[in-house]
């Protein structure tokens, strides 16, 4: 076994970059630490501007041939990658759980199957991607999607492989080449994806994976003049730096950023369902951008809702994410844990009351927390915590509910619990959000547009919207009867 290979829960993982179809080591490394026990999993190649330039060069060199590859062949290879994910599903699940602390049962049953689905969906969508021709004064208009070029994809740590392939799959399907930069807190499954893609027959240089710290390698990627698309999921401050970096080349951006989403509970809602939806917001230890962290409950049912919620949330089992019975695992990193705790401590100092939780548990675990008596303009209500921390506020009528729901800088998602379909229509029409769920949560279909409003992002992806971003759209206009036979 290579000196650059880790054994993670019995799975071999190469710690080097994947550039131009070869493994490339860096002179320096950085430690990858498991949030489960705080132990170092291993040392990962730490890329800098040199590796960034090499990866973009490899993607640029591979682009003409991949762009010229037929849609059918591109789709075939993407399906082969999906097959490879299915074959290694258990390995991917245990490696990702070790790396980022999310529940193993979720990785097995939902997340890794979704990774394979990402590739299959965009492969199939590619084959039916078309726009009906239309006429202008007898001239025929034909719309086509042309591959744009090398794409830089920068992905987060909370669902590393699923969110990476949500970008990689449509970019490759569109005929682009890719440089993937995974989060430094959870890089391992991106390395395994490189192996799977190569085994599936993806040509060298079409997918490149570079690891490292954003401050050291990120700007070299996002400012590179040969990069034609940048897609990023993460925080608003990082997105602002990426936008500045990309501005010189006018590189198009797709940004999926933070959220401070509301969950509105009206008195006419099924209260059991509303409580169930609210408790579900603790999924992945609250490290979910779409989470409805602001519970807004109609005054007349607030006391009963709070009682039931506290009872159900307190029964959640927190512990080792590899155990089948565990409901909540650890936070990703000591720095994130400190951030979460700081938010809660400042909120309590300002007058908030912890109905449940409000404190750290052993290791990198934070107790599921619900805070009440919070002001609308307070930090805990306005800023994304990204941990198992919810706030609860009350409203008196529909007008106040909508006002409170929209009163942040964000607009990623919203959840609504009501028994009145007319009210649902009225309220959802007024909510500022890229996705609204009514009496459900986290139902996602790749055919639907996904993205955020306000500071929650720029652009939409999913279905044809993904191809609109990852391609240069072309309209070809042909004159009627304009052909000359030159014999």
- List active site positions: 256, 289
**Tokens, residue 153:** 């994809």
Backbone φ and ψ for 232, nearest 5 degrees, come out as -135, 135
How far is 301 from 316, CA to CA, in rounded Å? 23
Cα dihedral sign for 173, 177, 183, 184?
A: positive
| Packed helices 89-100 and 112-127: angle between N→C axes, nearest 10 degrees | 120
Instruction: Provide DSSP, 21-89.
Output: TEEE--S-EEEEE-TTT--EEEEEE---HHHHHHHHHHHHHHHHHHHHS-HHHHHHHHHHHHHHHHHTH
Whether the Cβ atoms of residue 460 and residue 434 lie closer than 8 Å to each other: yes
How far is 230 from 255, CA to CA, in rounded Å? 8
Instruction: Give Dmax over CA atoms of the chain in angstroms.
Output: 87
Rg, C-alpha atoms of the chain: 24
How far is 246 from 134, CA to CA, in rounded Å? 35
Whether the Cβ atoms of residue 423 and residue 265 lie closer than 8 Å to each other: no
How far is 470 from 461, CA to CA, in rounded Å? 9
C-alpha of 61 from chain center: 28
- The tally of CA atoms less than 13 A away on the side-chain side of residue 107 is 28
Q: Residues near 262 by Cβ (< 8 Å), separated by ≥ 6?
A: 292, 294, 295, 296, 404, 405, 414, 415, 431
How far is 416 from 295, CA to CA, in rounded Å? 10
The conformation of residue 203, written as its DSSP 8-state character, comes to P
């Amino acid at each position: 076994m290579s000196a650059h290979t880790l054994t993670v829960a019995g799975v071999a993982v190469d710690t080097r970059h994947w550039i131009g179809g070869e493994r490339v080591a860096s002179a320096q490394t950085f430690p990858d630490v498991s949030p489960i026990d705080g132990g170092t999993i291993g040392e990962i190649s730490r890329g800098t501007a040199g590796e960034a330039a090499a990866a973009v060069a490899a993607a640029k060199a591979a682009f003409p041939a991949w762009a010229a590859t037929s849609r059918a062949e591109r789709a075939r290879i993407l399906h082969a990658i999906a097959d490879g994910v299915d074959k290694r599903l258990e390995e991917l699940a245990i490696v990702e759980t070790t790396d980022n602390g999310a529940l193993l049962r979720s990785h097995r049953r939902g997340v890794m199957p979704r990774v394979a689905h990402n590739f299959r969906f965009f492969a199939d969508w590619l084959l039916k991607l078309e726009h009906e021709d239309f006429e202008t004064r007898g001239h025929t208009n034909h719309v086509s999607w042309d591959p744009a070029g090398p794409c830089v994809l920068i992905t987060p740590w909370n669902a590393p492989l699923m969110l990476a392939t949500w970008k990689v799959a449509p970019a490759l399907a569109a005929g682009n080449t890719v440089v993937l930069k995974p989060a430094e807190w959870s890089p391992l499954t991106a390395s395994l994806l490189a192996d799977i893609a190569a085994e599936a027959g993806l040509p060298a240089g079409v997918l490149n994976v570079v690891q490292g710290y954003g401050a050291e390698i990120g700007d070299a990627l996002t400012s590179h003049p040969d990069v034609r698309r940048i897609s990023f999921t993460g925080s608003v401050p990082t997105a602002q730096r990426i936008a500045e970096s990309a501005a010189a080349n006018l590189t198009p951006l797709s940004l999926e950023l933070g959220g401070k989403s509301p969950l509105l509970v009206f008195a006419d809602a099924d209260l059991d369902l509303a409580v169930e939806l609210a408790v579900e917001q603790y999924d992945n230890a609250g490290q979910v951008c779409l989470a409805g962290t602001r519970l807004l409950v109609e005054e007349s049912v607030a006391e009963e809702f709070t009682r039931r919620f506290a009872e159900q949330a307190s029964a959640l089992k927190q512990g080792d994410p590899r155990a089948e019975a565990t409901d909540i695992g650890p936070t990703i990193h000591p720095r994130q844990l400190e951030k979460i705790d700081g938010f809660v401590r400042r909120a309590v100092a300002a007058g908030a009351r912890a109905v449940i939780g409000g404190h750290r548990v052993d290791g990198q675990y934070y107790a599921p927390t619900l805070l009440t008596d919070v002001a609308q303009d307070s930090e805990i209500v306005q800023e994304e915590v990204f941990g198992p921390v919810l706030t609860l506020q009350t409203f008196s009528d529909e007008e106040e509910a909508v006002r409170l729901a929209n009163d942040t800088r964000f607009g990623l998602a919203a959840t609504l619990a009501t028994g009145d379909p007319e009210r649902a229509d009225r309220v959802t029409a007024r909510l500022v959000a890229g996705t609204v769920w009514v009496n459900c949560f986290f139902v996602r279909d790749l055919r639907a547009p996904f993205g955020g409003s306000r500071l929650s992002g720029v652009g939409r992806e999913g279905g044809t919207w993904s191809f609109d971003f990852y391609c240069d759209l072309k309209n070809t206009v042909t004159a009627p009867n304009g052909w000359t036979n030159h014999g």
